[in-house]
Amino acid sequence: MQFRDFVDIVWRRRLVVAVVFGLCVVAAAAYAYSKPKRYQSTATIAFTPNPAKGQNFLPSENLAALLATYAEVAKSRQTRLAAGGILGRKVPGTVSTSTGASGGILQISGTDTSPRGAEETARAITQAFVHSLEGNGLLVANVINPPIESFTPLQPRPPLIISVAALLGLIAGVLYALLLDRFRNSVEDPVELTQLTGLPVIGRLPRERTLAKGQAQLIWNAPGHEFVREAFRALRANVELLTDEQPSTIQVTSAGAGHGKSTVVANLAVALGQIGIKITIVDADLRNPRQHEIFGLDNKVGLSTALLLPDSELSPQPTTFTNVSVLTSGLIPANAPDILHVRLRAVLRELREEGGIVLIDSPPVLPVSDAPLIARYVDGVLVVVAVDRTRTTTVSSVVEKLRFAQANPLGLVLNFAERDDEAFGGYGYGQSFIPQPGSILHG
């Protein structure tokens, strides 16, 4: 993995990294500030040979051995009982010992929940220990630093604990992000999708809270949504190049329900109409039609009428948007696949002859059989892929089904994508794929 790939993964999973980091810091802070404070007081004892007994020099190895023994004696139960006698009560804290870096130094430390208790522990233990060495004839013990009260807690140390937790939390968050990226199943990376399916990503529509609720709607007259509008303009540019300004029928579908295909159809139609292209929307989702709701149109007569009554006149309804008309679904029939199979090709041929682009809102590919059937009669198919809602294997299955039906998949449109500087910043908000003019749809 290259460093740029690593940075891209961490940035894409920055929310996960931030959550793990925050949890570690909060947990460390809760631990640090909930633990009782403990204070420490230390006495330093220096040992020298006893000149009165003719001990002017003691080999360093012998001195080290004696100091190790003295360190254990100072912590012994006997010394603690003697220290209790000096205090007149039980020694309050705990005792630890250490030998100095230079020879002949022993430190006795008392630790307690109060500075006074720590000082009393160290002082009493030191006095009892020094008294126990009197008259041993080898070394003289001198207390060079008596214990004093320290009001700085030995532990816990919140700044240190939180700093270490922050570092570990950052590392854990990054590792978790890498693991998620390694084992993820949902769609995120356009390059990976292209490699997997052989189809370009021709549009990337950013996530908007109001659009992510599954309610199809138009974004052109609503306040805000500038990122989404600009992304649809980028998608429009790619579709315009795909069609090469020739009459075309383009089906828009998805893997499953709730992926935003109806919203994509409606808003793409408006975007194309704004640049003077005649657009006819055909609501071929005869199971769950939405286009009449989006544009506020009557749905008593529509595609189902034209399919059931061959002699009926096609009647796309005009909308309030320039160059955009809609052939609504009409009344929902009980046998949608059957009637689509009988006369859909003739209906689409008639609409295509009227010029412009025909955008077909079809059912999802996987739940029902309608979409592959429709795909056989159109010039090309766009597949809407909902980021984080669609598995990569699912996208592959959708493209496979379309190709098996001898359809012409044109590309993928990522919906609900995360906004980032590279995809949506700079001079434009959309990530555009620029195909070669005339390369598809018309031979």
The H or E element spanning position 144 is strand 139-145
pLDDT for residue 25: 94
Q: Residue for token digits 């199809």?
A: 216
Name every residue whose Cβ is closer than 8 Å to that of residue 54 and which is 6 or more positions away in sequence.
none
CB 219 within 8 A of CB 419: no
pLDDT for residue 185: 59
**For the stretch 191-219, what's the b/e string if a residue is b when 16 or more beta carbons lie within 10 angstroms of its beta carbon?**
eebeeebebbbbbbbbbbeebeeeebbbb
CA-to-CA separations, 200 to 44, 114, 365, in angstroms, rounded: 76, 69, 19
- Identity at 217, one-letter amino acid code: Q
- Quick one: which of 368, 382, 378, 384 has its CA closest to 406? 378
Token pair in block for residue 118: 């720590």
Indicate the angle between helix axes 14-34 and 3-12, nearest 10 degrees.
Answer: 70
Token pair in block for residue 219: 């974004």
- Quick one: which of 229, 222, 199, 246 has its CA closest to 407? 199
pLDDT for residue 95: 93
In whole angstroms, give the CA distance from residue 304 to residue 284: 8
- Identity at 337, one-letter amino acid code: P
What burial class does residue 15 get, using C-beta atoms within 10 Å of its C-beta: 0-12 exposed, 13-18 middle, 19+ buried?
exposed
pLDDT by 10-residue block (mean), the chain, 443 residues: 75 88 93 89 87 63 82 91 92 89 83 93 93 77 90 86 93 89 66 83 81 69 82 92 81 92 95 94 93 94 88 88 95 84 88 92 91 93 87 86 93 81 45 43 39
CA-to-CA separations, 398 to 391, 409, 412, 416, in angstroms, rounded: 11, 10, 11, 19
pLDDT for residue 52: 62
Domain spanning 39-145 has what CATH number? 3.30.70.1130
* Answer CATH for 187-424 from 3.10.450.50, 3.40.50.920, 3.40.50.300, 3.10.20.30: 3.40.50.300
Separate counts of helices (H) and strands (E) for the chain: 15, 12
- Quick one: which of 77, 82, 389 has its CA closest to 260? 389
- Quick one: which of 261, 325, 317, 316 has its CA closest to 288? 261
pLDDT for residue 439: 42
Token pair in block for residue 430: 């959309």
In whole angstroms, give the CA distance from residue 134 to residue 324: 107
pLDDT for residue 213: 55
What burial class does residue 180 get, using C-beta atoms within 10 Å of its C-beta: 0-12 exposed, 13-18 middle, 19+ buried?
middle
pLDDT for residue 380: 94
Q: Does the fold of domain 187-424 match that of domain 39-145?
A: no
CA-to-CA separations, 281 to 57, 243, 261, 264, in angstroms, rounded: 105, 16, 13, 11
In whole angstroms, give the CA distance from residue 154 to residue 160: 12
pLDDT for residue 431: 42
| Strand partners for 140 | 48
DSSP for 347-393, please give it.
Answer: HHHHHHHT-SEEEEE---TTTSSHHHHHHTTSSEEEEEEETTTSBHH
The domain limits of the chain are 3-35+156-180, 39-145, 187-424
Three-state SS for 224-291 is CCHHHHHHHHHHHHHHHHHHCCCCEEEEEEECCCCCCHHHHHHHHHHHHHCCCCCEEEEECCCCCCCH
The phi and psi torsions of 166 (rounded to 5 degrees) equal: -65, -45
- Identity at 328, one-letter amino acid code: T
Sign of the four-CA dihedral 180, 181, 183, 189: positive
Sheet with 409-417, side-by-side order of all strands:
201-206, 409-417, 380-386, 248-254, 357-361, 279-283, 324-327, 317-318
Give the pairing type, strands 317-318 and 201-206.
unpaired
| Strand partners for 381 | 251, 409
What burial class does residue 102 get, using C-beta atoms within 10 Å of its C-beta: 0-12 exposed, 13-18 middle, 19+ buried?
exposed
